[in-house]
Structure 1
Amino acid sequence: MAEIQPIRGWRYGAGLSAQIDRLVSPLFDVVSPRQREALYQNPLNSIHLSVPRGDDPAGQALARLREWQQAGVLRQDELPGIYVYYQYFRLPGSPREYCRKGFMCHIRATDWAENVVLRHENTLPAAVNDRAELLARTEFESSATHGLYRDEDFDLEPYLDEAMRSPLYETEEDYQGARDVLAVIQDADVIRHFQRVLAAREVILADGHHRYEGSLAYRQARRAAVGDAYTGHEAWNFHLMYLTNAAADDLRILPTHRLLLDLPGIADAAELLARLEPYFTIITLDDPYDLPERIAGKPWAFGLYLGEGEVYKIRLRPEVHAQLDWPTTEEVKNLDLAVLHFFVLEKVLGIVGSEAQRQWPGVAYVRNFPECLTRVNKGEARAAFITNEVSMAEVERVCHSGAVMPAKSTFFFPKTIGGFLFSSIADEETNAPFTDVFRA
Structure 2
Amino acid sequence: MTQIRPFRPYLVTADRAAVVVAPAYDSMVPAERAAFSNDNPSNYINAMRVEEEFSKSDRPSAETLLERNRATVQRLLDDGSFRQYEEEALYIYRLQAGHHVQTAVVAEVPIEEYETGRIRRHEHTRPDHEDRLTRYLEVVGVSSSPVCLAYPESPSINALISKITSRVPELDLLSDDEIRQLVWRVTDEGEIETLQQQFSSVSAAYLTDGHHRTAASSRYSASQCAKGDDKGSGSWKYFLAAMFPASELRILAFNRCVRDLNGLSVQSLVEGIGKHFVVEALSDPEKTTLPCVPGEFTMLIGEFVYRLKVRPESVPEDPVKKLDVSLLQNLILEPLLGITNSRSDVRLDYITGNSGLKGLQQRLSEGWQIAFACFPTSMKELMTVADQGRVMPAKSTCFDPKARSGVFLRFF
Q: Same fold (TM over 0.5)?
A: yes
Going from structure 1 to structure 2, the CA distance change for 1:304 and 1:374 (only over 3 Å counts) comes to: same
Identify the residue that residue 318 of structure 1 maps to in structure 2.
Answer: 312
How big is each residue's C-alpha offset from its partner over 1:357-413, in whole Å with a ceiling of 9 and x where there is no partner?
A: 21111111112121101221x242110111111111111111112111111111111
Going from structure 1 to structure 2, the CA distance change for 1:338 and 1:19 (only over 3 Å counts) comes to: same
Q: C-alpha displacement at 1:289, in angstroms?
A: 5.1
2:73 counterpart of 1:65 = yes
Q: C-alpha displacement at 1:215, in angstroms?
A: 0.8
2:357 counterpart of 1:359 = no
Identify the residue that residue 183 of structure 1 maps to in structure 2.
Answer: 184
Check whether the contact 1:132–1:214 (CA below 8 A) recurs between aligned residues. Answer: yes
Q: Which of residues 62, 84, 88 in structure 1 aligns to 2:92? A: 84
Q: What CA distance in whole angstroms lies between the structure 2 residues aligned with 1:291 and 1:115?
A: 43
The percentage of counterpart residues that share the same residue type is 25
Q: What CA distance in whole angstroms lies between the structure 1 residues aligned with 2:139 and 2:255?
A: 37
Q: What CA distance in whole angstroms lies between the structure 2 residues aligned with 1:258 and 1:21?
A: 34
The equivalences for 1:165-184 within 5 A come to 165-175=167-177, 177-184=178-185
How big is each residue's C-alpha offset from its partner over 1:149-179, in whole Å with a ceiling of 9 and x where there is no partner?
A: 113424244345424522112212343x211
Q: Which of residues 261, 265, 280 in structure 2 aligns to 1:283? A: 280
Going from structure 1 to structure 2, the CA distance change for 1:73 and 1:19 (only over 3 Å counts) comes to: closer
**Could you say what secondary structure the match of 1:404 adopts?**
coil
Q: C-alpha displacement at 1:331, in angstroms?
A: 1.2
Check whether the contact 1:58–1:134 (CA below 8 A) recurs between aligned residues. Answer: yes
Going from structure 1 to structure 2, the CA distance change for 1:243 and 1:112 (only over 3 Å counts) comes to: closer
Q: C-alpha displacement at 1:340, in angstroms?
A: 0.8
The equivalences for 1:16-95 within 5 A come to 17-32=14-29, 33-51=31-49, 54-55=60-61, 56-90=64-98
**Could you say what secondary structure the match of 2:15 adopts?**
helix
Identify the residue that residue 303 of structure 1 maps to in structure 2.
Answer: 298
Q: C-alpha displacement at 1:62, in angstroms?
A: 1.5
Q: What CA distance in whole angstroms lies between the structure 2 residues aligned with 1:334 and 1:25?
A: 37
Consecutive unaligned residues in structure 1, runs of 5 or more: 91-96, 323-328, 426-440
Check whether the contact 2:92–2:184 (CA below 8 A) recurs between aligned residues. Answer: yes
Going from structure 1 to structure 2, the CA distance change for 1:83 and 1:113 (only over 3 Å counts) comes to: closer
Going from structure 1 to structure 2, the CA distance change for 1:160 and 1:421 (only over 3 Å counts) comes to: farther
**Could you say what secondary structure the match of 1:330 adopts?**
coil
Identify the residue that residue 389 of structure 2 maps to in structure 1.
Answer: 402
Deviates further, 277-286 or 154-163: 154-163
Q: What CA distance in whole angstroms lies between the structure 2 residues aligned with 1:113 and 1:422?
A: 24
Q: Which of residues 340, 343, 361 in structure 2 aligns to 1:373? A: 361
Q: TM-score, normalised by structure 2?
A: 0.90
Going from structure 1 to structure 2, the CA distance change for 1:85 and 1:173 (only over 3 Å counts) comes to: same
2:394 counterpart of 1:411 = no
Q: TM-score, normalised by structure 1?
A: 0.84
Which stretches of structure 1, 4 residues or more, deviate above 4 A after TM superposition? none
Check whether the contact 2:94–2:182 (CA below 8 A) recurs between aligned residues. Answer: yes
Q: What CA distance in whole angstroms lies between the structure 1 residues aligned with 2:286 and 2:173?
A: 33
Q: What CA distance in whole angstroms lies between the structure 1 residues aligned with 2:284 and 2:211?
A: 38
Q: What CA distance in whole angstroms lies between the structure 2 residues aligned with 1:285 and 1:418?
A: 43
Going from structure 1 to structure 2, the CA distance change for 1:205 and 1:348 (only over 3 Å counts) comes to: same
Identify the residue that residue 430 of structure 1 maps to in structure 2.
Answer: none
Identify the residue that residue 240 of structure 2 maps to in structure 1.
Answer: 240
Say how many residue pairs are matched: 397
Q: What CA distance in whole angstroms lies between the structure 1 residues aligned with 2:34 and 2:212?
A: 19
RMSD of Structure 2 on Structure 1 (CA): 2.1
Specify the code of the residue in structure 1 equivalent to 2:360.
C
Identify the residue that residue 94 of structure 1 maps to in structure 2.
Answer: none
Going from structure 1 to structure 2, the CA distance change for 1:199 and 1:152 (only over 3 Å counts) comes to: closer
Q: C-alpha displacement at 1:27, in angstroms?
A: 4.0
How big is each residue's C-alpha offset from its partner over 1:26-60, in whole Å with a ceiling of 9 and x where there is no partner?
A: 34322243354223333321112233564322221
Check whether the contact 2:145–2:405 (CA below 8 A) recurs between aligned residues. Answer: yes
Specify the code of the residue in structure 2 equivalent to 1:342.
N
Q: Which of residues 75, 99, 102 in structure 2 aligns to 1:100? A: 102
Check whether the contact 2:149–2:207 (CA below 8 A) recurs between aligned residues. Answer: yes
Going from structure 1 to structure 2, the CA distance change for 1:205 and 1:289 (only over 3 Å counts) comes to: farther
Check whether the contact 2:277–2:309 (CA below 8 A) recurs between aligned residues. Answer: yes
Check whether the contact 1:49–1:142 (CA below 8 A) recurs between aligned residues. Answer: no
How big is each residue's C-alpha offset from its partner over 1:271-290, in whole Å with a ceiling of 9 and x where there is no partner?
A: 32132222222111023454
Q: What CA distance in whole angstroms lies between the structure 1 residues aligned with 2:2 and 2:322?
A: 29
Identify the residue that residue 4 of structure 2 maps to in structure 1.
Answer: 4
Specify the code of the residue in structure 1 equivalent to 2:315.
H
Going from structure 1 to structure 2, the CA distance change for 1:223 and 1:161 (only over 3 Å counts) comes to: same
Q: What CA distance in whole angstroms lies between the structure 2 residues aligned with 1:168 and 1:347?
A: 54
Specify the code of the residue in structure 2 equivalent to 1:10.
Y
Q: What CA distance in whole angstroms lies between the structure 1 residues aligned with 2:373 and 2:266?
A: 16
How big is each residue's C-alpha offset from its partner over 1:6-45, in whole Å with a ceiling of 9 and x where there is no partner?
A: 11011234xxx22312211134322243354223333321
Deviates further, 22-31 or 179-188: 22-31
**Could you say what secondary structure the match of 2:300 adopts?**
strand
Consecutive unaligned residues in structure 2, runs of 5 or more: 52-59
Q: What CA distance in whole angstroms lies between the structure 2 residues aligned with 1:373 and 1:339?
A: 22
